[in-house]
């Protein structure tokens, strides 16, 4: 039996994410959370056409069947994090008890809470100045616990990120389930986390029994990831921390014949490796995916391809994954990662993804 009741969303709340669907299809439903699934799934499985796994064209009188996977909307939620409001290209959040305002380029709409509520924030990222402003001094010693993993919160200069992308929680639980399943069959999956930032995905995978290789090009971020490992008391878990350019590393692994059962990819639009190697998504992604295919094991478990770039869609990611996985059977899930505002009446879309799962390989 489902753990959560069905919550019907108004079509308006779902429409931005599924704007290519007919009105019937976008009558979004928050699907009940399944066993072992911690995030909320919002999908559009409530019409006959959608049950047939098709997507209708904009004109329902001449519905076109594209016969492809329907996008889903995964809304992350976990204790200690709240999205209070969004709008005017900002978001109002409460993180580990700290009320903060950060810029949010996707939030073009109007805020719903009063100015007074927004003014209660004690920590703000000032987008124009590119730095944090603290009303009562910089919060110190804050951390965030998630499913046995501890993340330290910090407010680095020149970055609006505090060490965690909360919407990624949906991916962590999806990945954890797959690692757990493989481990329960007596096999330790080898997981490669590329562009791994402060180690969230790596630590969650390690917590679920995976052997993890974490790659990031930033020295500061890498030492932060190791602090998180220590704070989580995971020093004994098998995690290799590699400070390297993601492309250079995968090239070397391919030459060495190294193989991985799962790859987590969360590439930025633009980035640099430790020696200044330039990553540009529009130039590097396609050849990089080809390279990643070379290091996939014979029985791959999953691939997560996540992206914050606003120029691509989840369907584009699916097409790219299919090119990459040519010939490999499995299941692809595509969609958007969102956060739901506390009142429950509005979603903030943040990233797109295409995940491939090898199933019972
Ligand atoms: C969007 S963040 C990834 C967020 C992370 N997956 C998470 O959910 O917490 C991008 C990361 O890519 C890293 N990066 C950028 N360019 C890189 C490169 N050429 N090689 C390796 N890492 C790079 C940055 O240091 C940053 O930590």
DSSP string of 141-177?
A: S-EEEETTEEEE----TT----S--GGGHHHHHHHHH
Q: What is the pLDDT of residue 34?
A: 44
Q: What is the pLDDT of residues 167-207, one digit of tens each?
A: 999 999 999 999 999 999 999 999 999 999 999 999 999 99
Average pLDDT score over the chain:
84
pTM: 0.85
Reduced to 3 states (helix: H, G, I; strand: E, B; else coil), residue 233 is coil
Q: How confident is the model at residue 40 (pLDDT cuts 50, 70, 90)?
A: low
Kindly state if the Cβ of 266 falls inside 6 Å of ligand 1. yes
Distance of CA 333 to the CA centre of its chain: 13
Reduced to 3 states (helix: H, G, I; strand: E, B; else coil), residue 303 is strand
Q: Hey, what are 159's tokens?
A: 């970055």
Kindly list the structural domains of the chain, giving each domain's residue range(s) and its CATH number in brackets, ordered by start.
7-70 (no CATH), 81-152 (2.60.40.1180), 166-357 (3.40.50.150)
Kindly state if the Cβ of 221 falls inside 6 Å of ligand 1. yes
Angle at 165 between CA 212 and CA 38, to 5 degrees: 75
Reduced to 3 states (helix: H, G, I; strand: E, B; else coil), residue 130 is coil
Q: How far apart are CA 324 and CA 300, in angstroms?
A: 13
Q: Is 241 exposed, middle or buried (0-12, 13-18, 19+ CB in 10 A)?
A: middle
Q: Hey, what are 333's tokens?
A: 């899930």
Section 87-111 average pLDDT: 96
How remote is the CA of residue 275 from the centroid of ligand 1, in Å? Answer: 14
Biggest CA pair distance of the chain:
60
How remote is the CA of residue 160 from the centroid of ligand 1, in Å? Answer: 14
Q: Is 234 exposed, middle or buried (0-12, 13-18, 19+ CB in 10 A)?
A: buried
Q: How confident is the model at residue 49 (pLDDT cuts 50, 70, 90)?
A: very low
Q: Among residues of the chain, what percentage have pLDDT more than 70?
A: 80
Kindly state if the Cβ of 156 falls inside 6 Å of ligand 1. no
Q: Residues of 190-214 as b/e, b for ≥16 C-beta within 10 angstroms?
A: bbbbbbbbbbbbbbbbbbbbbbbbb
Q: What is the pLDDT of residue 53?
A: 40
Section 299-323 average pLDDT: 93
């Amino acid at each position: 039996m489902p753990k959560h009741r069905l919550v019907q969303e108004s079509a308006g709340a779902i429409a931005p994410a599924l704007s290519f669907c007919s009105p019937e299809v976008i009558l979004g439903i928050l699907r009940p959370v399944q066993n072992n699934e911690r995030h909320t799934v919002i999908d559009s499985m409530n019409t006959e056409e959608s049950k047939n796994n098709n997507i209708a064209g904009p004109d329902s009188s001449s519905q076109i069947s594209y016969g492809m996977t329907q996008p889903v909307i995964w809304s992350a939620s976990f204790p200690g994090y709240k999205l209070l409001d969004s709008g005017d290209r900002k978001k109002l959040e409460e993180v580990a008890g700290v009320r903060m305002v950060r810029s949010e380029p996707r939030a073009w709409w109007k805020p719903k809470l009063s100015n007074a509520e927004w003014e209660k924030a004690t920590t703000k990222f000032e987008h124009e100045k590119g730095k944090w402003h603290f009303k009562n001094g910089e919060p110190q010693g804050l951390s965030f616990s998630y499913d046995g993993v501890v993340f330290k919160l910090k407010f680095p200069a020149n970055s609006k990120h505090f060490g965690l992308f909360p919407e990624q929680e949906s991916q962590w639980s999806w990945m954890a389930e797959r690692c757990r399943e493989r481990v329960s069959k007596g096999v330790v999956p080898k997981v490669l986390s590329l562009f791994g930032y402060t180690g969230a995905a790596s630590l969650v995978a390690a917590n679920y029994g995976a052997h993890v290789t974490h790659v990031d090009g930033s020295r500061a971020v890498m030492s932060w990831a190791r602090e998180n490992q220590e704070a989580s008391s995971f020093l004994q878990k098998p995690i290799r921390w590699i400070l390297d350019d993601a492309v250079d590393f995968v090239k070397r692994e391919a030459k060495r014949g190294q193989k991985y059962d799962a790859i987590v990819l969360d590439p930025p639009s633009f980035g640099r490796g430790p020696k200044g190697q330039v990553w540009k998504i529009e130039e590097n992604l396609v050849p990089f995916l080809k390279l990643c295919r070379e290091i996939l094991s014979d029985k791959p478990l999953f691939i997560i391809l996540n992206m914050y770039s606003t120029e691509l869609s989840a369907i584009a990611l699916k097409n790219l994954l299919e090119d990459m996985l040519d010939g490999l059977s499995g299941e692809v899930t595509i969609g958007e990662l969102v956060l739901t505002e506390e009142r429950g009446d509005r979603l903030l879309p943040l990233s797109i993804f295409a995940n491939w799962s090898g199933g019972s390989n």
